[in-house]
Amino acid sequence: MREVAIIGAGTTLFGELWERSFRDLAVEAGLRAIEDAGISGDEIQALYGGNMSAGRFIEQEHIGALIADYAGLARLHIPATRAEAACASGALAMHLAVLSIASGWYDLVIAAGIEKMTDVGSDSAEELLASSVDRKWEVIYGATLPSLFAMMARLHMTRYNTTAEQMAQVAVKNHANAVHNPCAQYRREISLESVLASPLVADPLRVLDCSSIADGASAVVVCAAENARQYTDSPIYVKASVQASDTISLHDRRDLITMDATVAAARKAYQQASLQPSQIDLAEVHDSYTIAELIAIEDLDFVKKGEGGKATEAGETAIGGRIPVNPSGGLKACGHPLGATGIRQIVEITQQLRGEAGKRQVPGAEVALTHNIGGTGGTAIVHIFTR
Protein backbone atom coordinates (compact mmCIF):
# COMPACT_ATOMS: atom_id res chain seq x y z
CA MET A 1 0.00 0.00 0.00
CA ARG A 2 1.33 3.44 -0.93
CA GLU A 3 1.53 6.36 1.46
CA VAL A 4 -0.90 9.22 0.84
CA ALA A 5 -0.56 12.99 1.23
CA ILE A 6 -2.72 16.12 1.11
CA ILE A 7 -1.34 18.82 -1.17
CA GLY A 8 -4.22 21.29 -1.25
CA ALA A 9 -7.16 22.33 0.92
CA GLY A 10 -10.00 24.83 0.66
CA THR A 11 -13.32 25.66 2.26
CA THR A 12 -16.19 28.07 1.93
CA LEU A 13 -17.70 30.09 4.71
CA PHE A 14 -20.18 28.03 6.74
CA GLY A 15 -23.55 29.51 7.66
CA GLU A 16 -26.91 30.54 6.25
CA LEU A 17 -25.69 31.27 2.73
CA TRP A 18 -28.92 32.30 1.07
CA GLU A 19 -27.23 33.92 -1.91
CA ARG A 20 -25.17 30.83 -2.86
CA SER A 21 -26.46 27.62 -4.40
CA PHE A 22 -25.31 24.06 -3.83
CA ARG A 23 -23.42 24.27 -7.11
CA ASP A 24 -21.78 27.58 -6.20
CA LEU A 25 -20.49 26.15 -2.92
CA ALA A 26 -19.12 22.98 -4.52
CA VAL A 27 -17.24 24.96 -7.15
CA GLU A 28 -15.85 27.49 -4.66
CA ALA A 29 -14.44 24.87 -2.30
CA GLY A 30 -13.01 22.80 -5.15
CA LEU A 31 -11.33 25.76 -6.82
CA ARG A 32 -9.78 26.87 -3.54
CA ALA A 33 -8.32 23.40 -2.99
CA ILE A 34 -7.02 23.17 -6.56
CA GLU A 35 -5.45 26.62 -6.39
CA ASP A 36 -3.89 25.79 -3.03
CA ALA A 37 -2.36 22.64 -4.55
CA GLY A 38 -1.17 24.51 -7.62
CA ILE A 39 -2.57 21.90 -10.00
CA SER A 40 -4.68 22.01 -13.12
CA GLY A 41 -7.99 20.25 -13.54
CA ASP A 42 -6.44 17.97 -16.13
CA GLU A 43 -4.39 16.25 -13.40
CA ILE A 44 -7.44 15.13 -11.39
CA GLN A 45 -8.20 11.45 -11.90
CA ALA A 46 -11.27 11.00 -9.66
CA LEU A 47 -13.61 12.87 -7.35
CA TYR A 48 -15.28 11.69 -4.14
CA GLY A 49 -18.02 13.93 -2.77
CA GLY A 50 -19.54 13.54 0.68
CA ASN A 51 -23.21 14.47 0.89
CA MET A 52 -25.95 13.19 3.16
CA SER A 53 -29.23 14.27 1.68
CA ALA A 54 -29.24 16.63 -1.31
CA GLY A 55 -32.20 14.68 -2.65
CA ARG A 56 -34.34 15.96 0.21
CA PHE A 57 -32.64 19.26 1.03
CA ILE A 58 -32.52 20.61 -2.55
CA GLU A 59 -34.38 17.87 -4.48
CA GLN A 60 -31.24 16.92 -6.42
CA GLU A 61 -29.75 13.47 -6.78
CA HIS A 62 -26.85 12.30 -8.98
CA ILE A 63 -24.54 14.52 -6.97
CA GLY A 64 -21.22 13.10 -8.17
CA ALA A 65 -21.86 13.98 -11.78
CA LEU A 66 -23.34 17.36 -10.80
CA ILE A 67 -20.22 18.40 -8.88
CA ALA A 68 -17.90 17.21 -11.63
CA ASP A 69 -19.98 19.05 -14.22
CA TYR A 70 -20.08 22.41 -12.46
CA ALA A 71 -16.43 22.14 -11.44
CA GLY A 72 -15.54 21.98 -15.13
CA LEU A 73 -14.35 18.37 -14.94
CA ALA A 74 -17.07 16.73 -17.01
CA ARG A 75 -15.00 17.08 -20.18
CA LEU A 76 -12.38 14.82 -18.58
CA HIS A 77 -14.97 12.11 -17.97
CA ILE A 78 -13.41 11.27 -14.60
CA PRO A 79 -15.30 9.02 -12.18
CA ALA A 80 -17.22 11.12 -9.67
CA THR A 81 -18.69 9.27 -6.71
CA ARG A 82 -21.06 10.45 -3.99
CA ALA A 83 -20.27 9.10 -0.50
CA GLU A 84 -23.04 8.92 2.12
CA ALA A 85 -22.72 8.01 5.79
CA ALA A 86 -25.10 10.55 7.35
CA CYS A 87 -23.09 13.20 9.23
CA ALA A 88 -19.86 11.28 8.47
CA SER A 89 -20.29 11.59 4.70
CA GLY A 90 -17.34 13.97 4.31
CA ALA A 91 -14.95 11.72 6.21
CA LEU A 92 -16.16 8.77 4.16
CA ALA A 93 -15.32 10.66 0.96
CA MET A 94 -11.80 11.15 2.32
CA HIS A 95 -11.55 7.49 3.32
CA LEU A 96 -12.46 6.41 -0.22
CA ALA A 97 -9.98 8.90 -1.69
CA VAL A 98 -7.21 7.55 0.55
CA LEU A 99 -8.00 3.95 -0.39
CA SER A 100 -7.97 4.80 -4.09
CA ILE A 101 -4.50 6.34 -3.85
CA ALA A 102 -3.06 3.78 -1.41
CA SER A 103 -4.15 0.95 -3.69
CA GLY A 104 -2.32 2.46 -6.65
CA TRP A 105 -5.51 2.79 -8.69
CA TYR A 106 -5.18 6.59 -8.90
CA ASP A 107 -2.34 9.05 -8.30
CA LEU A 108 -4.25 12.28 -7.63
CA VAL A 109 -7.91 12.77 -6.60
CA ILE A 110 -10.19 15.25 -4.86
CA ALA A 111 -12.19 14.52 -1.70
CA ALA A 112 -14.96 17.02 -1.05
CA GLY A 113 -17.98 17.47 1.18
CA ILE A 114 -21.04 19.65 0.77
CA GLU A 115 -24.50 20.27 2.19
CA LYS A 116 -27.08 22.99 1.52
CA MET A 117 -29.43 22.76 4.49
CA THR A 118 -31.09 26.15 4.88
CA ASP A 119 -33.27 25.97 1.78
CA VAL A 120 -35.81 24.07 3.90
CA GLY A 121 -37.40 25.17 7.16
CA SER A 122 -35.97 24.23 10.53
CA ASP A 123 -38.72 21.66 11.16
CA SER A 124 -37.98 19.95 7.85
CA ALA A 125 -34.25 20.05 8.55
CA GLU A 126 -34.77 18.43 11.96
CA GLU A 127 -36.91 15.73 10.38
CA LEU A 128 -34.19 15.08 7.80
CA LEU A 129 -31.55 14.88 10.54
CA ALA A 130 -33.63 12.15 12.16
CA SER A 131 -33.09 10.00 9.09
CA SER A 132 -29.53 9.42 10.36
CA VAL A 133 -30.92 7.19 13.13
CA ASP A 134 -33.34 4.24 13.05
CA ARG A 135 -36.70 5.49 11.78
CA LYS A 136 -38.52 2.23 12.44
CA TRP A 137 -37.44 1.76 16.06
CA GLU A 138 -36.53 5.27 17.24
CA VAL A 139 -38.05 8.10 15.21
CA ILE A 140 -41.48 6.48 14.90
CA TYR A 141 -41.75 6.62 18.69
CA GLY A 142 -40.88 10.31 18.86
CA ALA A 143 -37.10 10.22 19.27
CA THR A 144 -35.11 13.03 17.68
CA LEU A 145 -31.37 13.37 17.28
CA PRO A 146 -31.20 15.90 20.17
CA SER A 147 -33.30 13.68 22.44
CA LEU A 148 -31.06 10.66 21.80
CA PHE A 149 -27.94 12.66 22.68
CA ALA A 150 -29.84 14.01 25.69
CA MET A 151 -30.30 10.41 26.90
CA MET A 152 -26.54 9.93 26.59
CA ALA A 153 -25.94 13.16 28.49
CA ARG A 154 -28.29 12.21 31.32
CA LEU A 155 -26.72 8.77 31.72
CA HIS A 156 -23.21 10.26 31.64
CA MET A 157 -24.25 12.71 34.36
CA THR A 158 -25.74 9.93 36.46
CA ARG A 159 -22.91 7.44 36.08
CA TYR A 160 -19.91 9.78 36.22
CA ASN A 161 -21.24 12.88 38.00
CA THR A 162 -20.71 14.95 34.88
CA THR A 163 -22.33 18.36 35.29
CA ALA A 164 -24.26 20.68 32.98
CA GLU A 165 -21.50 23.23 33.61
CA GLN A 166 -18.84 20.84 32.31
CA MET A 167 -20.83 20.19 29.13
CA ALA A 168 -21.38 23.92 28.71
CA GLN A 169 -17.62 24.46 28.92
CA VAL A 170 -17.33 22.61 25.59
CA ALA A 171 -19.50 25.25 23.93
CA VAL A 172 -17.67 28.13 25.64
CA LYS A 173 -14.26 26.78 24.54
CA ASN A 174 -15.27 26.09 20.97
CA HIS A 175 -16.89 29.49 20.47
CA ALA A 176 -13.76 31.16 21.81
CA ASN A 177 -11.69 29.23 19.26
CA ALA A 178 -14.04 30.10 16.40
CA VAL A 179 -13.54 33.85 16.94
CA HIS A 180 -10.31 33.42 14.97
CA ASN A 181 -11.70 31.13 12.25
CA PRO A 182 -12.80 33.06 9.14
CA CYS A 183 -14.97 30.17 7.86
CA ALA A 184 -16.94 29.68 11.10
CA GLN A 185 -20.67 30.35 11.28
CA TYR A 186 -20.47 31.88 14.77
CA ARG A 187 -17.37 33.99 15.35
CA ARG A 188 -18.27 35.23 18.80
CA GLU A 189 -17.61 34.17 22.35
CA ILE A 190 -20.37 32.95 24.64
CA SER A 191 -20.38 32.74 28.43
CA LEU A 192 -21.00 29.76 30.65
CA GLU A 193 -24.02 31.57 32.06
CA SER A 194 -25.52 32.11 28.60
CA VAL A 195 -25.24 28.40 27.76
CA LEU A 196 -26.92 27.39 31.02
CA ALA A 197 -29.67 29.99 30.56
CA SER A 198 -30.46 29.12 26.94
CA PRO A 199 -33.78 27.32 26.28
CA LEU A 200 -34.01 23.56 26.76
CA VAL A 201 -34.06 21.48 23.59
CA ALA A 202 -34.07 18.03 25.20
CA ASP A 203 -33.26 17.92 28.91
CA PRO A 204 -30.43 18.36 29.86
CA LEU A 205 -29.29 19.76 26.48
CA ARG A 206 -29.98 23.41 25.78
CA VAL A 207 -29.89 25.45 22.58
CA LEU A 208 -26.25 26.44 23.11
CA ASP A 209 -25.28 22.80 23.71
CA CYS A 210 -26.26 22.01 20.12
CA SER A 211 -24.61 22.64 16.76
CA SER A 212 -26.70 24.36 14.11
CA ILE A 213 -27.71 23.57 10.56
CA ALA A 214 -25.64 25.37 7.95
CA ASP A 215 -24.62 25.54 4.32
CA GLY A 216 -21.03 24.97 3.26
CA ALA A 217 -18.48 22.97 1.31
CA SER A 218 -14.86 21.91 1.78
CA ALA A 219 -12.35 20.06 -0.38
CA VAL A 220 -8.86 18.60 -0.27
CA VAL A 221 -6.52 17.39 -3.01
CA VAL A 222 -4.97 14.01 -2.24
CA CYS A 223 -2.07 12.33 -4.03
CA ALA A 224 0.55 9.60 -3.71
CA ALA A 225 3.05 10.72 -1.06
CA GLU A 226 5.95 9.91 -3.37
CA ASN A 227 4.74 12.66 -5.74
CA ALA A 228 3.65 15.24 -3.15
CA ARG A 229 6.76 17.41 -3.19
CA GLN A 230 6.31 18.00 -6.89
CA TYR A 231 3.38 20.20 -5.86
CA THR A 232 4.14 21.64 -2.42
CA ASP A 233 6.94 22.07 0.09
CA SER A 234 4.53 21.30 2.93
CA PRO A 235 2.56 18.12 2.22
CA ILE A 236 0.46 16.67 5.02
CA TYR A 237 0.74 12.90 5.29
CA VAL A 238 -2.19 10.59 5.97
CA LYS A 239 -0.90 8.06 8.49
CA ALA A 240 -4.23 6.31 9.18
CA SER A 241 -7.72 6.17 7.71
CA VAL A 242 -10.22 3.85 9.40
CA GLN A 243 -13.98 3.41 9.18
CA ALA A 244 -16.04 1.38 11.68
CA SER A 245 -19.73 0.66 12.22
CA ASP A 246 -22.09 -0.05 15.10
CA THR A 247 -25.85 -0.54 15.48
CA ILE A 248 -27.73 2.37 13.97
CA SER A 249 -30.15 2.44 16.91
CA LEU A 250 -28.97 3.65 20.28
CA HIS A 251 -31.01 1.12 22.27
CA ASP A 252 -29.15 -1.82 20.72
CA ARG A 253 -25.71 -0.60 21.85
CA ARG A 254 -23.54 -2.42 24.36
CA ASP A 255 -23.19 0.84 26.30
CA LEU A 256 -25.24 3.97 25.62
CA ILE A 257 -22.35 6.30 26.47
CA THR A 258 -19.52 4.51 24.69
CA MET A 259 -19.46 4.71 20.91
CA ASP A 260 -17.91 1.36 20.12
CA ALA A 261 -17.46 2.33 16.46
CA THR A 262 -15.25 5.22 17.61
CA VAL A 263 -13.31 2.97 19.98
CA ALA A 264 -12.72 0.39 17.22
CA ALA A 265 -11.78 2.96 14.57
CA ALA A 266 -9.43 4.79 16.93
CA ARG A 267 -7.70 1.61 18.09
CA LYS A 268 -7.03 0.52 14.51
CA ALA A 269 -5.97 4.04 13.47
CA TYR A 270 -3.38 4.20 16.24
CA GLN A 271 -2.10 0.81 15.10
CA GLN A 272 -1.91 1.93 11.46
CA ALA A 273 -0.01 5.07 12.39
CA SER A 274 2.19 3.29 14.97
CA LEU A 275 1.25 5.98 17.47
CA GLN A 276 -0.20 6.22 20.97
CA PRO A 277 -3.07 8.58 21.91
CA SER A 278 -0.58 10.58 24.00
CA GLN A 279 1.34 11.43 20.82
CA ILE A 280 -1.59 13.30 19.22
CA ASP A 281 -0.96 17.06 19.38
CA LEU A 282 -4.51 18.18 18.53
CA ALA A 283 -7.83 16.77 17.38
CA GLU A 284 -10.95 17.83 15.53
CA VAL A 285 -13.80 15.71 16.93
CA HIS A 286 -17.51 15.42 16.28
CA ASP A 287 -19.18 17.82 18.75
CA SER A 288 -22.66 18.00 17.24
CA TYR A 289 -23.77 18.25 20.89
CA THR A 290 -21.55 19.15 23.82
CA ILE A 291 -21.92 15.68 25.32
CA ALA A 292 -20.66 14.25 22.01
CA GLU A 293 -17.28 15.93 22.49
CA LEU A 294 -16.95 14.56 26.02
CA ILE A 295 -17.76 11.04 24.85
CA ALA A 296 -15.43 11.40 21.85
CA ILE A 297 -12.36 12.38 23.85
CA GLU A 298 -13.00 9.42 26.15
CA ASP A 299 -13.54 6.92 23.33
CA LEU A 300 -10.44 8.22 21.50
CA ASP A 301 -8.52 7.45 24.71
CA PHE A 302 -7.39 11.02 25.35
CA VAL A 303 -8.90 10.77 28.84
CA LYS A 304 -10.26 7.91 30.92
CA LYS A 305 -13.90 6.96 30.59
CA GLY A 306 -16.06 9.31 32.61
CA GLU A 307 -13.42 12.04 32.90
CA GLY A 308 -14.26 14.04 29.78
CA GLY A 309 -16.17 16.66 31.75
CA LYS A 310 -13.44 17.09 34.35
CA ALA A 311 -10.72 17.35 31.69
CA THR A 312 -12.65 20.00 29.78
CA GLU A 313 -13.39 21.98 32.92
CA ALA A 314 -9.67 21.87 33.81
CA GLY A 315 -8.71 23.37 30.42
CA GLU A 316 -6.96 20.25 29.13
CA THR A 317 -8.76 20.47 25.76
CA ALA A 318 -8.23 24.21 25.23
CA ILE A 319 -5.55 25.59 22.91
CA GLY A 320 -2.46 25.50 25.09
CA GLY A 321 -3.85 22.57 27.07
CA ARG A 322 -2.64 18.97 27.14
CA ILE A 323 -4.69 17.92 24.09
CA PRO A 324 -6.33 20.83 22.20
CA VAL A 325 -9.69 19.73 20.82
CA ASN A 326 -11.59 21.56 18.07
CA PRO A 327 -9.31 24.60 17.66
CA SER A 328 -11.48 25.45 14.64
CA GLY A 329 -14.52 25.92 16.86
CA GLY A 330 -15.84 22.47 16.03
CA LEU A 331 -19.29 21.72 14.70
CA LYS A 332 -20.69 23.77 17.56
CA ALA A 333 -19.34 27.12 16.37
CA CYS A 334 -18.34 26.42 12.76
CA GLY A 335 -21.81 25.10 11.96
CA HIS A 336 -22.59 21.61 10.73
CA PRO A 337 -23.42 21.24 7.02
CA LEU A 338 -23.66 17.49 7.28
CA GLY A 339 -21.72 16.30 4.25
CA ALA A 340 -19.05 18.98 4.54
CA THR A 341 -18.04 18.63 8.19
CA GLY A 342 -15.66 15.68 7.83
CA ILE A 343 -13.67 17.45 5.12
CA ARG A 344 -13.79 20.80 6.92
CA GLN A 345 -12.12 19.10 9.89
CA ILE A 346 -9.34 17.92 7.57
CA VAL A 347 -8.91 21.40 6.09
CA GLU A 348 -8.43 22.71 9.64
CA ILE A 349 -5.86 20.03 10.43
CA THR A 350 -4.01 20.79 7.19
CA GLN A 351 -3.77 24.46 8.15
CA GLN A 352 -2.71 23.59 11.70
CA LEU A 353 0.05 21.22 10.62
CA ARG A 354 1.31 23.76 8.09
CA GLY A 355 1.38 26.41 10.82
CA GLU A 356 -1.17 28.53 8.95
CA ALA A 357 -3.98 28.72 11.54
CA GLY A 358 -3.21 32.22 12.80
CA LYS A 359 -4.45 33.10 16.28
CA ARG A 360 -6.01 29.64 16.74
CA GLN A 361 -2.71 27.90 15.93
CA VAL A 362 -1.73 25.03 18.22
CA PRO A 363 1.99 25.62 18.92
CA GLY A 364 4.32 22.91 17.67
CA ALA A 365 1.56 20.82 16.09
CA GLU A 366 3.03 17.83 14.26
CA VAL A 367 0.49 15.00 14.67
CA ALA A 368 -3.28 15.46 14.45
CA LEU A 369 -6.48 13.41 14.43
CA THR A 370 -9.96 13.89 13.00
CA HIS A 371 -13.09 12.08 14.20
CA ASN A 372 -16.43 12.19 12.38
CA ILE A 373 -19.55 10.14 13.22
CA GLY A 374 -22.84 9.43 11.52
CA GLY A 375 -26.05 9.72 13.53
CA THR A 376 -25.50 8.71 17.15
CA GLY A 377 -22.39 6.72 16.23
CA GLY A 378 -23.60 4.08 13.78
CA THR A 379 -20.59 5.08 11.69
CA ALA A 380 -17.27 6.43 12.94
CA ILE A 381 -14.28 7.47 10.84
CA VAL A 382 -10.89 8.39 12.28
CA HIS A 383 -7.95 9.87 10.37
CA ILE A 384 -4.45 10.62 11.66
CA PHE A 385 -2.13 13.09 9.93
CA THR A 386 1.46 14.25 10.31
CA ARG A 387 3.63 16.99 8.88
Active site residues: 87, 336
User: Which segments within the chain are labelled E, that is strand?
Assistant: 4-11, 46-50, 80-83, 108-116, 200-202, 205-206, 215-224, 236-245, 282-284, 367-374, 379-386
For 164-192, what is the HEC assignment?
A: HHHHHHHHHHHHHHHCCCCCCCCCCCCCH
- Compute how many other C-beta atoms are within 10 angstroms of the C-beta atom of residue 72: 13
Nearest to 334 by CA among 369, 354, 360: 360
Name, in order, each residue with C-beta under 8 angstroms of 193's C-beta and a sequence gap of 6 or more. Answer: none
What interhelical angle do 260-273 and 290-299 show, nearest 10? 50
Find residue 305's DSSP bridge partners.
none
User: HSE (CB half, 13 Å, CA atoms) of 261?
Assistant: 23
